[in-house]
Amino acid sequence: MKKLASSTALATILLSGAAHADPAVMLGLALNFGGAADTKLGLTTKLLSDNRPDQLVGAIGGTYFFDGTWGLDVGIGYTFDEAAVTLSYDFINNAPQVAAGWANIETVC
């Protein structure tokens, strides 16, 4: 009986202790490199999975390149105070992408 009570208490603590974070939006510059196309520079907007600083996050975004083309990418990133950096893969241009820019990161006191 004590094992069942302990297991139930542990499961309750683990399941209820999960933190919930809001997503963040990132605006910045993106650079596609490698792949079949030449290196491209563009403006990007990404949705990040977390709005807290110093977090590893998932990222999905769209990019307008200065040569008039578009990109759509999925990847990972890292958040800082009011900024983020991502490494992703652009599925439209078949190329890896690195991006950095401003993000609406929540300030932690």
3-14 residue pLDDT tens: 555 555 555 554
Higher pLDDT pick, 6 / 78? 78
Domains in the chain: boundaries: 22-103
Going by pLDDT thresholds of 50, 70 and 90, the confidence category of residue 38 is confident
Query: Is residue 74 predicted with pLDDT exceeding 90?
Result: yes
- pTM, full prediction: 0.77
Long-range contacts of 56-64 (CB under 8 A, 24+ apart): 57/24, 57/84, 59/26, 59/84, 59/86, 59/88, 61/26, 61/30, 61/86, 61/88, 61/99, 63/30, 63/32, 63/90, 63/97, 63/99
